[in-house]
Chain A
């Protein structure tokens, strides 16, 4: 991949921006401009990469990331399934639309107790992540499925293809760019869902670390846990953006 001069400049400026941000973080911590609750960047990194804490963070990450992944996959399957169902059986669509947007509007702090009753404390985060991802994927897939060209549809009709066959051969490939964009925006949604869910009494995970560190004034631990969650979300988001670029180049 060759970069133009302009892109090179953008990249350089972006890196400078990130460096300035980190230096600012370090300076505020060093001069204690924001009080004792703002640690230096280097303090957080030293805390984070201390070998003695590898087990602690490793366990929390394993637990949170498996919940996030589980919620992501489940939400993706349900969201795409619902979109395909309401596409094949059109009269169902308004009802599914309303249900999906209502469920999405229920605040997660109200859902969490419900899931704790119905499921268990430890999968509450996964359930909320599932709902968040479901909504994004459902919206992206329903709008994407409408995107195939009319003349292609006519061709399928003339050749006597069934609705299911048209969905698989024509409409799904046409919806792919939209679905992949949905997958990208579902990433932070999955992280938020899982972490929020863990705030309500999970027995392990990054969310639990955050809340207990907040209550016990363990500032480096608090910042480390937030840093891990943010960095992980960012990395996945970046990978999804690459995938998106590839799919958009190939299918649209």
Chain B
């Protein structure tokens, strides 16, 4: 193992994070130049201070949002996979369902939130339903594509060996859908957090989105900014985890 000097390490760090550091400096500089009030825009330092001194409120709300997002993601993907498998069994069903799935995944589903809010009521149930719907479409579309993308020749091999349809499905078709399934997971994870937050913002009674709205309404801008820092961190974390999972699965699978 090579030991890198502190100087090399800090250059490596700067190389990766100069953009983010630059934005923070711009933010601070903007406040100094414009002499902005903390109600209009807090200083980066104040935001960090609020994060460090009140970790409890951030953690409890973040845990709530994360739980909702994760639960919704799992349910949505399970539902999407199930319907994709159902569609795979019948040419008629897939012909009818896949175009609809494509249509809905190219439509701004977030715009449906006001309708769902009216349909299901203003509470946690609706927030969950929204995350389920948002993660459903990518899971359905990608799983459907994956179930059809069999490795060349493998299907003939299974037929030659006289595999039953069920064996063919479990041993060949499902495994070959796993890589596309992982793409769906990576694509759905950040929007799941995002849509949970938007839904909480519009109609929630708890969670990060609600906390953001409350603190913005009370002019606690340092807390509002702190909430977005936490939300951003969660979103980055989810994306990174999904990408790592995808890489590991793909490494084992192909």
Residues of A within 8 A of B (CB): 9-10, 12-14, 16-18, 20-21, 34-35, 37-38, 91, 94-96, 98-102, 104-111, 113-114, 117, 187-188, 191-192, 195-196, 199, 207, 210-211, 213-214, 217, 219, 222-223, 226, 229-230, 233-234, 237
Q: How many residues of chain B are within 8 Å of chain A by beta carbon? A: 49
Distance between Cα atoms of A102 and B18 in the complex (Å): 12
Which A residues are in CB contact (< 8 Å) with B118?
37, 214, 217, 219, 222
Which B residues are in CB contact (< 8 Å) with A108?
194, 198
Q: Does B152 contact A (CB under 8 A)?
A: no
B111 A210 Cβ-Cβ under 8 A: yes
27 example contacts (A-B, Cβ-Cβ < 8 A) are as follows: A9-B95, A14-B95, A95-B15, A95-B18, A99-B22, A99-B23, A101-B236, A102-B236, A104-B190, A106-B231, A107-B194, A107-B197, A107-B232, A107-B235, A110-B231, A114-B41, A187-B106, A188-B106, A191-B108, A192-B111, A195-B108, A195-B110, A196-B110, A196-B198, A207-B111, A214-B114, A222-B114
Q: Kindly list 8 other residue pairs between chains A and B, CB separation below 8 angstroms, not including A17-B96, A223-B115, A234-B107.
A: A99-B19, A107-B235, A109-B197, A114-B41, A188-B107, A226-B112, A230-B108, A230-B111
Task: Report which of A9, A38, A99, A210 forms a contact with B114, defined as CB distance below 8 A.
Answer: A210
Min Cβ gap B68→A in Å is 14
Q: Does B181 contact A (CB under 8 A)?
A: no
Binds A, one of B2-10, B97-105, B156-164, B245-253: B97-105
Distance between Cα atoms of A101 and B20 in the complex (Å): 10
Task: Report which of B16, B193, B232 forms a contact with A95, defined as CB distance below 8 A.
Answer: B16
Which B residues are in CB contact (< 8 Å) with A91?
15
Distance between Cα atoms of A102 and B229 in the complex (Å): 10
Which A residues are in CB contact (< 8 Å) with B239?
101, 105
Query: Which residue of chain B is the closest to A96 with respect to CB atoms?
Result: B19
B19 A95 Cβ-Cβ under 8 A: yes
Q: Does B33 contact A (CB under 8 A)?
A: no
Distance between Cα atoms of A213 and B118 in the complex (Å): 10
Which A residues are in CB contact (< 8 Å) with B212?
109-110
Q: Does B89 contact A (CB under 8 A)?
A: no
Which B residues are in CB contact (< 8 Å) with A101?
236, 239
A109 B209 Cβ-Cβ under 8 A: yes
Task: Report which of B14, B40, B108, B227 forms a contact with A188, defined as CB distance below 8 A.
Answer: B108
Residues of B within 8 A of A (CB): 14-20, 22-23, 40-41, 92, 95-100, 103, 106-108, 110-112, 114-115, 117-119, 190, 193-194, 197-198, 201-202, 209, 212, 216, 224-225, 227-228, 231-232, 235-236, 239
A14 B96 Cβ-Cβ under 8 A: yes
Distance between Cα atoms of A104 and B95 in the complex (Å): 35
Min Cβ gap B12→A in Å is 9
B106 A237 Cβ-Cβ under 8 A: yes
Which A residues are in CB contact (< 8 Å) with B98?
14, 17
B110 A14 Cβ-Cβ under 8 A: no
Which B residues are in CB contact (< 8 Å) with A114?
41
Distance between Cα atoms of A197 and B97 in the complex (Å): 32
Given A38-B119, A99-B20, A105-B236, A110–B228 Cβ distance below 8 Å?
A: yes
A102 B114 Cβ-Cβ under 8 A: no
Which B residues are in CB contact (< 8 Å) with A229?
108, 111
Given A17-B97, A95-B16, A35–B119 Cβ distance below 8 Å?
A: yes
Distance between Cα atoms of A100 and B19 in the complex (Å): 9
